[in-house]
Amino acid sequence: MLLQSLFSGTNNSRSTTAKRIGNFGEQFASKYLNRAGWAIISRNLHFGHDELDILALDPSRKNLVIIEVRTTASGGAPERTVTHKKRRALSRIARALKSEAQQHNCRLRVDIITIRIVANTHEIRHFKAVAVV
């Protein structure tokens, strides 16, 4: 049912399906973080051509966290889809946010949340501090 809803619709092009899967993943990750006590500051925030998926404060409120969300409906490991180009973009975003974090006495770090959709279930993994800025 979950996969069917992601793949259904009148325009079922690959990019439309990928956007639906990505949007589902970001919404699911936001709910996961909220339930765990995180404060979501922003989603889909743009810095020039770069975009971050989620900006949040962790439950301790001592870490400002840039969260990259990767979602896949195929059998592969979504964390392997964080390309060198995306890592460079995350570094640029981190540099742009570093002074903001320092003004609020927060550390800045990058996390990756992966969501793998298989049949009607999903598996979420949270990789913390893949980069500390």
pTM score, whole prediction: 0.86
Structure confidence at residue 39 (pLDDT)? 98
Structure confidence at residue 11 (pLDDT)? 54
Q: What is the CATH number of the domain that holds 125?
A: 3.40.1350.10
Structure confidence at residue 79 (pLDDT)? 84
Average pLDDT, the chain: 88
CA pseudo-torsion sign 33, 38, 40, 45: negative
Domain interval for residue 64: 2-132
Our CA angle for 68, 99, 67, nearest 5°, is: 10
Q: Tell which wins on pLDDT, 105 or 83.
A: 105
Structure confidence at residue 73 (pLDDT)? 82
- Residue 56, amino acid: A
Structure confidence at residue 14 (pLDDT)? 57
Render pLDDT for 64-79 as a digit per residue (tens, 0 to 9). Answer: 999 999 998 877 788 8
**Nearest 10 degrees: Cα torsion 3, 16, 127, 125:** 0
Whether residue 2 is predicted with pLDDT greater than 70 in this model: the reply is no
Render pLDDT for 12-48 as a digit per residue (tens, 0 to 9). Answer: 565 788 889 899 999 999 999 999 999 999 999 999 9
CA distance 16 to 22: 10
The number of domains in the chain is: 1
- Rounded to whole angstroms, what are the CA distances from 24 to 34, 71, 73, 103? 15, 8, 11, 33
Structure confidence at residue 30 (pLDDT)? 98
